[in-house]
Amino acid sequence: MNRRRLLTGGTALAASATLLTTPTATARTARTAPALPTRAEILAVLRRVADHWIAAHTDPGDNGWANATFFSGLLALHRLTGDPRYLAYARGWAEKHAYGLRGGVTTRHADNHNAGQAYLDLYEIEPEEGKLTAIEASLRRMVLTDQPGKNDDWWWDDALHMGMPPFARLGVLRKDPRYWEKLYALYGHTKRVEGGPGLFDPGTGLWYRDKRFLPGAIVSPTGKPVVWSRGNGWVAGGHVKTLKALPRSERHTAEYRDTLTRLVTALPAAQRTDGFWNVNLADPEHLPGPETSGTSFFLYGTAYAIRAGLVRRAAFLPVADRAWQGLVTMAVHPDGFLGYVQKVGDRPESSQPVTYDSTSDFGVGAFLLGGTELALLTS
């Protein structure tokens, strides 16, 4: 912290705006990528990583946000493979927690709602109303009875991944657009109001992690903005999952599509030559090195944006392919252990150093999400 200094708001905004227009030292210009691996080849790697994690964790763990992200990825892999082992492991985890939420049904915290995404996945596979009792009760309270006019709960950008998809999916399942309106009210505060201007930077299409990093506040040691990679990865993931759930006719879908497009479009200029992204997207000299969780979420967002027609396949498939090749060749160990994951934190300096042997449940989940989305681009 003692190496940071303050910039005036105007200077920081100007520095941030250069991110989209001036390639960094590690940026790579677009070029033709080799053909994607086959779906079978992609799934073989994903299985190896998932199987390693499961074998090393006979106890499936808690129902907090980090572990719930792993199960979101595992159930995405189950949808592509139909492997009953993955379903059984996820079901056992959910039953261990009685399909409940940390903090109970009165919680308003997005992290606590993240487990509801996996419960909704399990409900879609094997519909039983009891699986949704807790997540539905908690979100319904926020929509109707527990300070329904309070919309400042999502004060950090990670919350968009944790909280957006359950609101979107329950609105679809119950045919109740009130969930979608509450979702948009919470989202709008994060994007346009939190900290004054909101956490979204319209000049770059990227997001600040929370108000501490807005222009004029914390900067990197070289005086550049701090635009955290995984924070933007959480944003990408939340938008992808929300768009997968919402109908095109929902009145806010167009904005979610545009916002994801802008984020994905910002990524190529900051991509490293090895396919990864650094922990600070705005400063390649700030703790440079491969990082798996942000890269995996950017793969997830980019692959979805290609598949949904938000960006041109010819321009962005090389970005996705480089990310996948980097992850597979550098982060995936021969036995399926996944390295270079920045562990729990809220900024580039958190949980440093990030090494070949650094891993975490949410990083594995992000990798499974990114890989399964890439597999959907294959024939």
Peptide bond into 353 cis (omega under 30): yes
Would strands 200-201 and 206-207 be described as parallel, antiparallel, or unpaired? antiparallel
3-state secondary structure 290-304: CCHHHHHHHHHHHHH
Residue 246 DSSP class: S
Is 62 strand, coil or helix?
Answer: coil
8 A C-beta contact, residue 294 and residue 229? yes
Instruction: Give the DSSP H/E element, type plus range, for residue 171.
Output: helix 159-173
The alpha carbon of 43 is separated from its chain's Cα centroid by a whole number of angstroms, namely 20
Contacts of 331 (CB under 8 A, 6+ apart): 290, 292, 338, 339, 340, 341, 356, 367
Query: Any idea what the Cα angle at residue 63 is, between residues 61 and 69, rounded to 5°?
Result: 90
Q: Is 271 helix (H, G, I), strand (E, B) or coil?
A: strand
In this structure, the dihedral spanned by the alpha carbons of residues 127, 131, 134 and 137, taken in order and rounded to 10 degrees, is 10
What does the alpha-carbon distance between residue 184 and residue 178 come to, in Å, rounded to a whole number?
10
For the whole model, what pTM was predicted? 0.93
- What tens-digit pLDDT sequence spans the chain (379 residues)? 333 332 333 334 444 444 443 333 333 434 454 589 999 999 999 999 999 999 999 999 999 999 999 999 999 999 999 999 999 999 999 999 999 999 999 999 999 999 999 999 999 999 999 999 999 999 999 999 999 999 999 999 999 999 999 999 999 999 999 999 999 999 999 999 999 999 999 999 999 999 999 998 999 999 999 999 999 999 999 999 999 999 999 999 999 999 999 999 999 999 999 999 999 999 999 999 999 999 999 999 999 999 999 999 999 999 999 999 999 999 999 999 999 999 999 999 999 999 999 999 999 999 999 999 999 999 7
Q: Collapsing DSSP states into helix, strand and coil, what is residue 19?
A: helix
Q: Per residue in 134-168, is it b (16+ CB within 10 Å) or e — as a string?
A: bbbebbbbbbeeeeeeebebbebbbbbbbbbbbbb
